[in-house]
Copies of this chain bind each other. A is one copy, B any other.
C-alpha cells in the first residue's frame, strides 16, 4: 500500500469528501467507513491493513476498534448498505411488470445509478465478493447474487415469451454478459468524468438490446 505520513495532517476536507462519495457522513463511523471503502476498493480488501485505514483517517490503528470490532465488520457495513439499497430498487422494478424492454432499461439504469452512489462498495463487491462470501458472516452475498440473477432471468425469459427478445437467446449466458458489463463500470467510472451514469446507461441499453452492428442479421428466424 501507499506510504502515508505517520502523523495526521489535514482533517479539514474529510467530511466533504465523504459527502462527495455519496454517503450521509453524519457520524464519525460513517466517515471512517468511507475512508475504508476507498482503500478497500483501490488496494483490495486483503491487502489493505487496518493501519492503512487508521493512517488515512489520521488516527492510530487501535483507535479504530472503538468504532468497529474487526476489519470484517467494516467490509460488512460497506457491502450490506450497498446491497440493501440496490436490491430494494430491483424489487420495485420487477414488481412494476412493465414491458420487457422497459424493465430491461430500468434495471440497467438502477444498477448504474446505484453504482454511482456506492462506487467503492461495487468495486469491493466485484473484486473481493467471491472470497468474502466464503465467510459465514458474508453469507448474504450469496443470497444477493441469487436475487440479481433471478431478477434478470425473469425479464429475459419474459422478453422472449412476449416476443420482444430473440428466441435464440441463452438466458444464463445473457445474464452473465449483462452482469459483467454493468458491474465492471464501477472500476473505471469517474463521477464528473466524460460520461454521467445516466449517459452510460443509455449507451449500454442501446448496445445490449440492439447490438453494435447496423441492421442486418445473419440468421433470419431469431
Contacts and interface: CB of A to CB of B under 8 A. Distances in A.
Interface of A: 43-44, 46-47, 101, 127-128, 130-131, 156, 159, 163-166, 168-170, 173-174, 176-177, 179-181, 184-185, 187-188, 195, 200, 203-204, 206-214, 217-218, 222
Contacts of A200: 173
A102 to B, nearest CB: 11
Contacts of A164: 213-214
A207 B170 CA distance: 10
A85 to B, nearest CB: 22
Contacts of A187: 130
Given A43-B131, A46-B44, A184-B184, A213 B177 contact: no
Contact of A208 (B163, B212, B222): B212
Contacts of A210: 166, 210-211, 213, 217-218, 222
9 contacts: A43-B131, A44-B44, A130-B187, A170-B195, A173-B195, A174-B212, A209-B211, A210-B210, A214-B222
Given A46-B47, A47-B46, A203-B173, A213 B181 contact: no
Contact of A204 (B165, B177, B209): B177
A149 to B, nearest CB: 11
A180 B184 contact: yes
Given A47-B131, A181-B181, A184-B184, A214 B176 contact: no
A131 B195 CA distance: 25
Contacts of A217: 210
Contact of A213 (B130, B166, B170): B166
Given A131-B44, A203-B170, A212-B169, A181 B177 contact: yes
Output the residue of A101, A185, A209 with the most chain B CB within 10 A.
Answer: A209
Q: Which 4 pairs of residues, A with B, have the shortest CB-CB distance?
A: A211-B211, A180-B184, A210-B211, A46-B46
Nearest to A156: B212
